[in-house]
């Protein structure tokens, strides 16, 4: 959740050469400008401005943007889509759904020069891609470049028991972040992709699957199980994954009991991967 491994800079430069070689509207000078732009993008950790695009004219921007269609199917640039989606199991924005789309971190309508730059193309699910839309990228986490403070828990899930089930309220705790820009981006992104409601919807199915694999019958053993589960999640998902935050919140919830666990064991599947 939140971050992905950054694509190879060398591959991005190779993409620029291949893009130009397959486009009649671009020449060797444009390739040089594209490569310079990609290097600038990387050196600025993905936080570019309109001024950074000035070496390529508006007409060139339109030509480059038109090349994005070649990332589909078996077209000349389809290998970019294949490379970026390979081994990415879940959307980095929601961590709920499989990746199906490539989101232009800086939208192609205003940053057409970056339309086929793999550093600017982030695998996401269709829901997150649609909800992010063409919003200002400055308000979002860049999955390739964002750095988070090490060891700082910032995703919280305050839990209560309602009608026998866990109801979480997810939020960002900025007290340990010490970076107001990062805190602003986290809150904005969560709001724009409707993540709080989607995680709340996904919680019941996650806990149903978690508890239906168990047989313990006392609160004491339940607490030990939750502690062990949290440690596993921290190891495999990180301290700020939504599932880690959820179990952390459940452990701190006074009303959590074996009765709640039994309700999940008896419940049937009603949700589909966090869709609401």
- Stretch 223-241: mean pLDDT, rounded? 97
Closest CA to 250 of 168, 173, 193, 183: 168
List the structure tokens of 79: 């290998």
Query: Residue 122: pLDDT above 80?
Result: yes
pLDDT value of position 135: 81
Q: pLDDT band at residue 185, thresholds of 50, 70 and 90? A: very high
CA separation, residue 223 to residues 59, 227, 229, 250, 257 (Å): 63, 6, 10, 10, 9
Whole-model pTM: value is 0.90
CA separation, residue 154 to residues 1, 56, 236 (Å): 13, 40, 17
pLDDT value of position 273: 44
For residue range 161-184, list pLDDT tens digits in order: 999 999 999 999 999 898 999 999
pLDDT value of position 269: 66
Q: pLDDT band at residue 270, thresholds of 50, 70 and 90? A: low
For residue range 42-63, list pLDDT tens digits in order: 999 999 998 999 889 899 999 9
- Stretch 137-164: mean pLDDT, rounded? 95
List the structure tokens of 24: 């009649």
Closest CA to 5 of 137, 146, 151: 146
């Amino acid at each position: 959740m939140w971050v992905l491994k950054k694509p190879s800079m060398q591959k991005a430069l190779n993409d620029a050469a291949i893009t130009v070689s397959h486009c009649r509207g671009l020449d060797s000078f444009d390739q040089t400008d594209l490569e310079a732009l990609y290097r600038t993008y990387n050196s600025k950790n993905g936080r570019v401005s309109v001024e950074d695009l000035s070496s390529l004219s508006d007409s060139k921007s339109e030509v480059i943007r038109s090349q994005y269609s070649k990332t589909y199917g078996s077209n000349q640039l389809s290998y970019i889509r294949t490379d970026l989606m390979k081994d990415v199991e879940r959307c980095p924005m929601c961590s709920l759904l499989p990746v199906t789309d490539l989101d232009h971190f800086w939208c192609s309508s205003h940053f057409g020069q970056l339309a086929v730059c793999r550093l600017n193309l982030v695998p996401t699910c269709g829901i997150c891609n649609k909800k992010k839309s063409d919003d200002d990228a400055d308000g979002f986490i860049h999955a390739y470049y964002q750095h988070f403070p090490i060891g700082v828990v910032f995703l919280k899930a305050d839990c209560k028991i309602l009608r026998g089930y866990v109801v979480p309220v997810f939020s960002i705790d900025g007290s340990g972040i010490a970076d107001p820009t990062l805190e602003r981006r986290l809150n904005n992104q969560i709001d724009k992709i409707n993540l709080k409601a989607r995680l709340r919807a996904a919680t019941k199915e996650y806990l149903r699957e978690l508890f239906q694999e168990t047989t313990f019958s006392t609160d004491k053993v339940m607490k030990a199980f939750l502690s062990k589960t949290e440690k596993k999640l921290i190891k495999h998902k990180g301290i700020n994954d939504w599932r880690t935050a959820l179990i952390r919140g459940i452990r701190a919830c006074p009303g959590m009991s074996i009765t709640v666990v039994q309700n999940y064991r008896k419940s049937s599947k009603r949700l589909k991967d966090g869709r609401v």
